[in-house]
Amino acid sequence: MKLNWKDCWSLKKQNHLLVKLTISILLMGLAFRLFVFKSEEFTAPSDLETSASADVDRAEVVTEEAKAGAEAEAKQPVVSTVDDDVSEYEDQNQMPQNELEDQNGMPIKEKCNLFIGDWVPNPSGPVYTNATCPLIEGHQNCMRNGRPDSGYLYWRWKPRDCELTQFDPENFLDMMRNKTWALIGDSISRNHVQSFLCILSTVEQAVEVYHDEEYRSKRWHFPSYNFTVSAIWSPFLAKAAIFEDYNGVSTSEVELHLDKLDKKWTEQFPNLDYMIISTGKWFLKSSIYYENDTVVGCHYCPKRNLTELGFDFAYGKTLRSVLDFIATSKHKGSIFFRTATPDHFEHGDWHNGTCEKTDPFKEGEIELNYLTKILRDIELAEFEKASAKAAENGVNLKLLDFTSLSLLRPDGHPGPYREFQPFAKDKNARVQKDCLHWCLPGPIDAWNDLIMEMIVNR
């Protein structure tokens, strides 16, 4: 069939209208979709209020928790530390003590003042006896000498604000392979070295490899560990001529050179990895003082026409020289300065005093006597000055403040049992009492727990 042009025009017109209608519908649909899409981008006012309210509540909870945490932290007691490096670490990071970590990510044990505490019952008793340790000298061997009571053996030192781990001799010897130790000072140092060796000898027996002519300086070796321990006899730490027998009986005054340190320890000093240095009671003896090899005065020399300078003058001057020598040495080992330990003589001294108590004191039940307090005040003052200088020079100088904890143990001395069976022939015999040195085993063993804590964990 053949269409004319009018039919074509009518058909085109209808198609044109259909296209317009289609386009209009599409445009309306697009507009409606855009309107709905845009409206979904906003939250209804009620939703906004709910969301804002929830955020404020959460903020208030966090603020209250932070405030409570800050208040709790502020109420925590200030705990003194033995290790200044740890104290600085805490200040920099503001971390609770029990969350501190070392450089390897290992937890650092809580810190406290190890020297403030109490003696508490210890049913397990000592780790050695006079039967298991052949290194105890006769005057400290209270069990062999016949001391009848044993309660003094069943106490341990408990710091007030932390736990103290018992000395672990096997772990200690492992740490000390190829190392050298020395305890330098008087008979209390020699007393201590016996305790030290007796505990270590539960793992391996120490072999004596040296002694001086008077058997006062000695050296021992642990072969399996190549570990050496020395006792260096130097009661003044300074050069001194001493005219006294083994029982303390003098025939003349000590001749003490205040400006010369004792070469017996200074010559060995550079080769020692660890050392404990102490002195004290010997400065109370009658002495003539020298400087530049010239007499400058004395202490307690009434028969001589000399100026009385006092033991405190000599002690301060000597400690100043000793600690200055150490602090300026640039020594790379660990050096401990031990404070003087108190005696417990009652009603007299070496010749007529006694110490008959069988239990420890509690804090506040006893005070340092006048002379020991003077020694201690000098020690703390000189150590404080030296420790600052040591820190500047990279010297690891630490304080072993054993005075107070030792003061609480009047029960730990040999008393009359410094001699073998002193009352065997006469129960009323008058014998010399020792209320200065310590029975072995005895309270002095706890010193090693504290030393290991400072070396291993601090």
* DSSP string of 189-234, one letter each residue: HHHHHHHHHHHHTTTS--EEEEE-TTS-SEEEEEGGGTEEEEEEE-
**75 and 185 together in one domain:** no
Pick from 111, 138, 159: which residue ends a domain? 111
Instruction: Report the candidate in 228, 165, 229 with the shortest Cα–Cα distance to residue 195.
Output: 229
Residues 176, 168 contacting (CB under 8 angstroms): no
Instruction: Report the candidate in 339, 444, 336, 348 with the shortest Cα–Cα distance to residue 397.
Output: 336
Structural tokens at position 291: 């400087």
Looking at the annotation, which residues are catalytic?
Answer: 187, 434, 437
Those residues with Cβ within 8 angstroms of residue 457's Cβ, 6 or more apart along the chain or in another chain = 109, 165
**364 and 431 together in one domain:** yes
Q: Write down the pLDDT at residue 211.
A: 97
Q: Write down the pLDDT at residue 348.
A: 87
**237 and 92 together in one domain:** no
Chain center to CA of 29? 84
How many Cα atoms within 13 Å fall on the side-chain side of residue 102?
A: 9
Strand 287-291 vs strand 294-299: parallel, antiparallel, or unpaired? antiparallel
Residue 174 forms part of a structural domain:
yes
Structural tokens at position 100: 């501190």
**Structural domains in the chain (count):** 2
pLDDT digits (tens, 9 = 90+) for 312-338: 999 999 999 999 999 999 999 999 999
Pick from 111, 128, 152: which residue ends a domain? 111
Model confidence band, residue 110 (pLDDT cutoffs 50, 70, 90): low
Residue 41 forms part of a structural domain:
no
Unique residue bearing structure tokens 């201590």: 192
Q: In this structure, what CATH number is given to the domain that contains residue 317?
A: 3.40.50.1110
Q: Write down the pLDDT at residue 17.
A: 44
Residue 1 forms part of a structural domain:
no
Which range of residues forms the domain containing residue 170?
A: 119-456
- The answer on pLDDT for 49 being more than 60 is no
Q: Write down the pLDDT at residue 349.
A: 85
Q: Is the pTM of this model over 0.85?
A: no
CA dist 229 and 286 (Å) reads: 32
**171 and 82 together in one domain:** no
Residue 43 forms part of a structural domain:
no
Residues 224, 190 contacting (CB under 8 angstroms): no
CA dist 296 and 279 (Å) reads: 22
In this prediction, what percent of the chain has a pLDDT beyond 70? 75
Instruction: Report the candidate in 321, 320, 295, 316 with the shortest Cα–Cα distance to residue 307.
Output: 295
Mean residue pLDDT of the chain comes to 82
Residue 211 forms part of a structural domain:
yes
- The DSSP string of 128-164 is --TTT-TT--GGG-TTTTT----GGGSEEEEETTS--
- Identity (one letter) of the amino acid at 36? V
Residue 349 forms part of a structural domain:
yes
pLDDT digits (tens, 9 = 90+) for 230-272: 999 999 999 999 998 766 778 899 999 999 999 999 999 999 9
**137 and 208 together in one domain:** yes
Strand 227-233 vs strand 180-185: parallel, antiparallel, or unpaired? parallel
**105 and 130 together in one domain:** no
CA dist 262 and 217 (Å) reads: 13
**67 and 201 together in one domain:** no
